[in-house]
Structure 1
Amino acid sequence: MLKYIVLIAGIYNSISAVSAAQDFYQLPDEFSDFSLNRDITVSYDDLDALLELTVIDLGKSDRSKRNSQSSIGTRMKAHKNNDTALEANRFYFEEVTKSSLKDGFHKIRVSLESLPDEISLNDLSLDEQLAYWLNLYNTAMLEKLISHYPVRNTEDLLFGDKSILEEEFITVAGHQLSLNDIQQNIVFKKFGKKKVIVMYGFYQGNIGSPNIRSEAYKGSKVYHQLAENGEEFVNSNRGVMIKNKDRVYVSKYFDQTKVLFDDFEKDLRAHLIDYAESPINSDIKYAKRFNVDIENWNITDLYGSERVFGAGTATNPAAMLNAVVDNSASPVQRGEGANSGIGATNLGFLSDSITAHTTDYGRFSPEVLQKIKSLNLKKKDNSGSVKIKDLEDKKQ
């Protein structure tokens, strides 16, 4: 009997040690501080342009369910999960992978990695830092998804033996990072305990995850953008569903967010009540059973759904991508008799144009660059004065 007690105690101590290690995870010095200076803002014009071109924003869910059979004569694929198949924003994966636009996400990710070469992240405000990490994560996620396309089910890609979430392919200020490092060890640890809505900023390529936005996150409005994502997610079938009035079902994505809640079920339920619309919020409050089991791992490719897009798609910038992709291998012709109109656009030229701002001007306006220069000079002066003081102290 004693050996079983010892064994149980050993297991308990091991679990406690792992939990303690997670609780006491220390951010690297380069990521741990922040500035109160809100004059220094980061530009994401290139990422804005690329997302606007490749993301179809479908708006809030109306909780519609997919019919059991696909429409005849459509390229749209059927989903096993009828409750959630018609939800989430879409990305033009198929068309992007055919064009040179796929390189745009890699270029922007590399550009974001080099931002600390211009200014320390600790010299940015907390809001600017949060926007930076979310944009880096989502850009890197899209880059990985594009490189693995075509893939229909993302579960093994995210959580299998060769998980892209665990791959350390991102380098920031000399630190090798994975997507999980950014989500769990940086954003959740530094921002999440005070603002749990940061969890809605992580797109993971599938219908069951928070939305990819058709714009980059901005320090000036990052929490407003996150709140929008949270409201859309909670008030959708892939976020929360009520069955039989006494059972609440929530997304398995929330399993990744447990570190944000001291009492997971109690605190998550309170959060969902706050974000859910009536009468769902009341049902969540009084439901007797709380199940974390809604999932849909299907990729958010435009052609991976059966949702009717209607005329709205034709006016979306993504329609331009669809129109030009067939001509992406041909240069734009000039002179008499040359092709005209958007179908003649060369996607290589378009991709270069999108990233030109980053390549030529960096992520800061001339005014902000001048402030950064002054800040760096001030830090250098302060550093020099400290060294002189140390020398004087040693002489004494």
Structure 2
Amino acid sequence: MRAFILCLLLPLLAACASVERLALPAPTPLENSALTRLADPPGIRVSHSEWDRFLSTYVSTDSSGVNRVAYGQVSAADRARLEAYLNTLQAVDPATLTRDQQLAYWINLYNAITVDLVLENYPVASIRDISEGPLSIGPWNRPVAVVSGQTLTLNDIEHRVIRPTFQEPRIHYALNCAAVGCPNLMDRAWQAGTLERDLAAAERAYVNDPRGVRFDDRGRLILSKIYIWFREDFGPNEQAVIAAISKAAEPELRARLQQARRVNAYKYDWALNDAAPGL
């Protein structure tokens, strides 16, 4: 009976994920093109040392491979340093940065703001509990930064700056929404010099983690919801997404993916990536 009920639920879960996809902003550039203008090399150096130090202090990997943040242990001094780092980033003119410098800049800004929002509202069970009102689920439309005179939300940074400017699907393995189901928040800052290597590593890590891709005990293919929320970034249709994922999969998983005809369900764990889960 349990298997029968699961069989009925899986198509409904996939349909629900499709509806969620429709609610997400389209990757449409902001009118302020100054935010996405790229500089010729060498660009300018932006220090991410404070963010680097914060991450190395408060991010650790649990036994299941999830990178968790010790939000409850962040000292007042380190919180102040994080705020100062965010102020420093907002004072940067992105047009003075090369492509890789700018992509690292935006990823770090997004992730640091996300952690700061959680700290502002901690303790919470999920980032989606940080809402703007009864019709809001999460803080993504809240004004959180001012860069080059432009007020930005997290949705602006992801969908109106990063996605249309860089057209790099692997940014979905780099941007972290403070959820267990999300690709890991790195325990160090993103840097222009290691950007390609770190994007490739983040992609491999998530594809080969059950949070990203797995087959259940009945052989059904279960993918993270990021592969339907942002499907156009990975491929024009479901089969193209499976093919893209398989390129980063380990041999055994790749072989199974190459035989998969469809995705049976999309899932995502919105529990906070807290080092003290359940608070």
Verify: 1:86 aligned to 2:90, yes or no: no
Query: Could you tell me which residue of structure 2 aligns to residue 329 of structure 1?
Result: none
Identity %: 23
Q: 1:53 aligns with which of 57, 63, 67?
A: 57
Return closer, same or farther for 1:24/1:182 CA change in 2, 3 Å cut-off: closer
Query: Could you tell me which residue of structure 2 aligns to residue 250 of structure 1?
Result: 223
Q: Say how many residue pairs are matched.
A: 254
Within 5 A, what are the aligned runs for 1:77-156? Answer: 86-96=64-74, 99-116=76-93, 121-156=94-129
Within 5 A, what are the aligned runs for 1:195-234? Answer: 195-234=168-207
Q: Which moved more, 1:228-237 or 1:101-110?
A: 101-110
Within 5 A, what are the aligned runs for 1:353-364? Answer: none
CA contact (8 A) 1:87 1:207 kept: no
Query: Could you tell me which residue of structure 1 aligns to residue 240 of structure 2?
Result: 267
Verify: 1:44 aligned to 2:48, yes or no: yes
Return closer, same or farther for 1:291/1:104 CA change in 2, 3 Å cut-off: farther
Q: 1:168 aligns with which of 143, 159, 168?
A: 143
Q: Which moved more, 1:31-40 or 1:128-137?
A: 31-40
1:205-256 Cα offsets, whole Å, 9 max, x none, are 1110011111111111112112211111111111111135752110113333
Residue 264 of structure 1 deviates from its aligned partner by 3.6
Query: Could you tell me which residue of structure 1 aligns to residue 5 of structure 2?
Result: none
The runs of 5 or more residues in structure 2 that have no matched partner are 1-21
What TM-score, normalized to structure 2?
0.82
Counterpart CA distance in 1 for 2:65 and 2:111 is 19
Return closer, same or farther for 1:179/1:222 CA change in 2, 3 Å cut-off: same
1:89-136 Cα offsets, whole Å, 9 max, x none, are 01111111x6432233222111100112xxxx2232100000000010
CA contact (8 A) 1:246 1:288 kept: no
Moved segments of 4+, more than 6 Å:
none
1:342-393 Cα offsets, whole Å, 9 max, x none, are xxxxxxxxxxxxxxxxxxxxxxxxxxxxxxxxxxxxxxxxxxxxxxxxxxxx
CA contact (8 A) 1:93 1:149 kept: yes
Q: 2:162 aligns with which of 165, 187, 204?
A: 187
Amino acid at match of 1:127: D
Secondary structure, counterpart of 1:249 in structure 2: strand
1:15-44 Cα offsets, whole Å, 9 max, x none, are xxx9xx947645522123212312533221
Residue 149 of structure 1 deviates from its aligned partner by 1.0
Residue 292 of structure 1 deviates from its aligned partner by 4.2
Counterpart CA distance in 1 for 2:27 and 2:100 is 23
- Give the number of the structure whose alpha-carbon radius of gyration is greater: 1
Query: Could you tell me which residue of structure 2 aligns to residue 295 of structure 1?
Result: 268
Amino acid at match of 2:150: H
CA contact (8 A) 1:248 1:283 kept: no
Counterpart CA distance in 1 for 2:137 and 2:146 is 19
Counterpart CA distance in 2 for 1:135 and 1:23 is 19
CA contact (8 A) 1:208 1:253 kept: no
The runs of 5 or more residues in structure 1 that have no matched partner are 1-17, 59-84, 306-396
Residue 156 of structure 1 deviates from its aligned partner by 4.1
Return closer, same or farther for 1:175/1:297 CA change in 2, 3 Å cut-off: same
Counterpart CA distance in 2 for 1:57 and 1:36 is 37
Amino acid at match of 2:171: V
Counterpart CA distance in 2 for 1:23 and 1:139 is 22
CA contact (8 A) 2:28 2:160 kept: no
Residue 179 of structure 1 deviates from its aligned partner by 0.6
Counterpart CA distance in 2 for 1:179 and 1:112 is 15
* CA RMSD, 1 decimal: 2.5
